Amino acid sequence: MSRGGSGLRERVCQSNLALVASGLVTETFGNVSGVDRAAGLFVIKPSGVPYEALTPANLVAVSLETGRVLDGDLRPSSDTATHLELYRAFPCGGIAHSHSAYATAFAQARRAVPCLGTTHADYFRGDVPVTRPLTREEVEQEYERHTGLVIVETFRTLRLSAEDVPGALVAHHGPFTWGVDPMAAVERARVLEYLALVACLTYHLDAHAPGPAAYLVDKHFRRKHGKDAYYGQPNGGA
């Protein structure tokens, strides 16, 4: 059996196809990965392969320790080093990256996606941050690795929890999201794009629209997440 296990490969493949089905992908932009921490590896989409040609077998397994390819005949996504740094820093099971229109617009404007209401707070406990621009040296030397590192730096500087705010915008680039597994990362990518759209509409109506009180944000986030969550059914029903 190829490294990464058939179950993980299948989940990562399905998640990449879900990213496309969500309308967040143009051409071959974007990628999804999933991690097996016990095995010390993650599985990611190969670089430039059309989504319609994607199969579990042609995904690429990468070492969490070294970042080297462990299994696969194809070159891994060009964003592999970014995923690696996020897995090393954040307790997540899957990562998604897209160039979806509204979230990317915020990234290009170097603006965080603001928390303007409870719809946002259901998934992100506060603004979705934007990183600083990368320096010339960071771009010219290990660009993709520094893309991951600048996300980690942003969370440390702002003292944000990667579990409370499961996403970030890389300045001039686009969004990265993460979750407990690859499909959860895709779900957050879909939600982030919707929130960026709604924020644009809100600012069109009122360029100075205030955000909600912190206690309201906390209430909506915690009713869905954490040990005191009570949204939905115990068996996972809606």
What are the residue numbers of the active site?
A: 122, 231
Q: Strand, helix or coil at 43?
A: strand
Sequence-distant (6+) residues with CB within 8 A of 156 are none
Residue 166 and residue 112: Cα distance in Å, rounded? 13
Pairing of strands 69-71, 41-44: unpaired
Sequence-distant (6+) residues with CB within 8 A of 56 are 6, 9, 10, 12, 13
Residue 195, Cβ neighbours under 10 Å: how many? 27
Residue 58 and residue 45: Cα distance in Å, rounded? 8
HSE-CB for 143 with a 13 A CA cutoff: 6
Structure tokens at 93: 């099971």
Residue 236: name the closest of 176, 184, 196, 159 by CA. 184
